[in-house]
Amino acid sequence: MEDRPKLLILYATQTGNALDAAERVGREAERRGCSVKLLSMDEYDVSSLPHEDTVIFVASTTGQGDTPDSMKVFWRFLLQRNLSKHWLEGVHYAVFGLGDSGYQKYNFVAKKLDKRLADLGAVAVVEKGLGDDQHPSGYEAALDPWMSSLWSILNKINPKFFPQGSYLAIPDMKLIDQPKVQITYHGDDNVDSQLPTNPDLKWIEMQIGWARSMSPGKFTHDKTRPGCFLKMIKNQPLTRAGCGKDVRHFEFEFVSSVIEYVAGGVLEVLPSQDSAAVDAFIQRCSLDPDALITVHPREKDNHFLHTCTIAKVPIKLKTFVELTMDVASASPRRYFFEVISYYATAPHEKERLQYFASPEGRDDLYQYNQKERRTVLEVLEDFPSVKMPFEWLVQLVPPLKTRAFSISSSPSAHPNQVHLTVDVVSWTTPFKRKRSGLCSMWLAKLHPEQSIYVPAWFRKGTLPLPPPSLPLILIGPGTGCAPFRGFVEERAIQSESNATAPVIFFFGCRNEENDFLYRDFWLSHSQEGGVLSEAKGGGFFVAFSRDQPQKVYVQHKMRENSRAIWKLLSKGAAVYVAGSSTKMPSDVLSAFEDIVSTEGGLSKESAVRWLRALEKAGSYHVEAWS
């Protein structure tokens, strides 16, 4: 047993998908009798990489080709120039990437990681796998065949990985019967004295910290960034009622500590779940909502569970569910169906769940689950014979994640406040089920007169606040205008005491009457010497896509004003693009390529290189979301 090699799996995740994929690879390896060590890239000493035998990398691409936060230090180390082309000689590796082909830099992180490892002398076991969120079965459509090839070739390279062969899997139940967490139930006697009769904000903050530190979900913001509580003071619709869109302007005041932030930053909000849904989940699972619990890893050296601070103070089961488990919004993963199949007592339910968990049932599961955005509560109601231990539910129910929003205010203009511009998400599934965004709908239903406190965390965005001397070209259709509202507010205040550089802003929406967000704000700053006025060398241009027979988008308005854009680019302007991640960023980049080529008298290839240099110099910024 001592000389059996251990398969190292390193992952880099931003939203949790890469962790799910890495855990799946680990489970499949263990079922073949292979010993596994699974770590986040920020938990691994990258200088030890040359001493490894075989390493599996699972990495997601975030934003516009960016590495996840947990991979940044790891990646910087690999880029050091003093690393020779023999540094990883003798190391075998495999890379699986998670991305979205709707983005311009599809799976960029996996591709550049694969190339860098090869450049450093490592040898690929299999061709890199590229999972695509746009595929009807999601990233698993690529993961299944990639793993099949991986096991087969690994077994040929080193049969010691799989003592019984790569195809002989350990019966699933041997791995299913032990969840990775355990629950300790506490009696009332020694806890009641610790529970306040009138909980204040400090107590609520501590409860959030306790609950989320015990959860197997990784909530990095809880430790690394200070949190605060906000109170809504304004909830203002920005779109005309009945137009098919509901975009809101929210204003919040700090009610606990005031957190310093800058325009262009991001606010993460922890949404409140519907109490009736939480109650229904607890009742369906035959749980005691008032039970006092603590949650901790079953094993000390448990690679499937993130290292967590074990809270010594018990918490009510219902509170734990409310703060950490997304029971009525997010869809469960495939592994959830695999596990609950063992707890289904009705034969027809067990058979259907086993089919869903199999490679053959993958596409049907996607139609049933992800496509319909079926929730954990709905799945459990569809399979009433399933009686599942709470430990498994804690491990497998999707974690309740914070939602990130671009801040649409300047702290200089609004001391003690932060503003958001939020699209209230709602849609109908293929089977005509009404769905809505958990956080946006919750915020939309809040009223300023209510004393409801919103837990929030601030972090830097991908749009750094520009100095007042820097000319700006801003492109922000729809809610992409949010960060630029803060930029314009900031520059308007700066212009009161000092000269500021010109700003051109391109905004886009469907109709002038329906969804011209912040109309009066933009117009006021584009007139009478405002920061967007022509008198200051700037400009404000709007594309109403559906107010005429032909669609008109921001890229059309950019081409119409190509001379003004080139004039600012020639003066060293920075470009900021924000909004939908689908086609907009690539269409805008294409428009810039045409403008640089035409106005600058360059070939198309030279224009592409010119803009690439602008991006490398940190003067072309994109913040996009799906």
600 annotated ligand-binding residue: no
96 annotated ligand-binding residue: no
Tokens of 494: 């700066």
Could you tell me if 336 and 374 are in contact, meaning their C-beta atoms sit under 8 angstroms apart?
A: no
405 annotated ligand-binding residue: yes
90 annotated ligand-binding residue: no
551 annotated ligand-binding residue: yes
307 annotated ligand-binding residue: no
In the Cβ-directed half-sphere of 140, how many Cα atoms lie within 13 Å? 24
Q: Give the span between the Cα atoms of 39 and 19, in whole angstroms.
A: 9
Q: Of 259, 228, 221, whose CA–CA distance to 70 is shortest?
A: 221
Q: Give the span between the Cα atoms of 35 and 22, in whole angstroms.
A: 14
Report CA-CA distances (Å) from 402 to 24, 227, 299: 24, 12, 28
Q: What are the E-state strand segments in 304-355?
A: 315-316
309 annotated ligand-binding residue: no
Q: Give the span between the Cα atoms of 466 and 470, in whole angstroms.
A: 6
573 annotated ligand-binding residue: no
34 annotated ligand-binding residue: no
Q: What is the DSSP letter of 60?
A: E
Identify the burial level of 548 via C-beta atoms within 10 angstroms of its C-beta, where 0-12 means exposed, 13-18 middle and 19 or more buried: exposed
Report CA-CA distances (Å) from 332 to 25, 249, 325, 327, 398: 18, 32, 11, 9, 6
Q: Which residues share a beta bridge with 424?
A: none
334 annotated ligand-binding residue: no
440 annotated ligand-binding residue: yes
Q: Of 202, 255, 266, 200, whose CA–CA distance to 229 is shortest?
A: 255
119 annotated ligand-binding residue: no
63 annotated ligand-binding residue: yes
479 annotated ligand-binding residue: yes
Residues in the chain: 626
Q: Alpha-carbon dihedral of residues 227, 230, 235, 237, nearest 10 degrees?
A: -10
552 annotated ligand-binding residue: yes
Tokens of 402: 């914070």
81 annotated ligand-binding residue: no
Q: What are the E-state strand segments in 13-102?
A: 35-40, 54-60, 92-99
DSSP states of 400-458 as a string?
---EEEEB---TTTSTTEEEEEEE--EEE-TT--EEE-HHHHHHHH--TTS--EEEEEE
What 3 state SS string does 140-160 have?
HHHHHHHHHHHHHHHHHHCHH
Q: Which residues share a beta bridge with 454?
A: 230
DSSP states of 523-548 as a string?
HHHTSTT-TTSGGGT-EEEEEETTSS
Q: Give the span between the Cα atoms of 334 and 362, in whole angstroms.
A: 8
316 annotated ligand-binding residue: no
Q: Give the span between the Cα atoms of 145 and 259, in whole angstroms.
A: 48
H or E segment to which residue 294 belongs: strand 292-297
H or E segment to which residue 114 belongs: helix 108-119
45 annotated ligand-binding residue: no
Find where tokens 């082309």 sit.
Answer: 85
93 annotated ligand-binding residue: no
480 annotated ligand-binding residue: no
Q: SS3 breakdown of the chain: % helix, strand, coil, rounded to 5? A: 40, 20, 40
Q: What is the DSSP letter of 328?
A: S
Assign 503 to helix, strand or coil. Answer: strand
107 annotated ligand-binding residue: no
Strands 54-60 and 92-99: parallel
228 annotated ligand-binding residue: no
546 annotated ligand-binding residue: yes
404 annotated ligand-binding residue: yes
Residues making up the annotated binding site for NADP(+) are 479, 545-546, 551-555, 587
Residues making up the annotated binding site for FMN are 13-18, 60-63, 133
Residues making up the annotated binding site are 13-18, 60-63, 133, 373, 403-406, 437-440, 479, 545-546, 551-555, 587, 625
Residues making up the annotated binding site for FAD are 373, 403-406, 437-440, 625
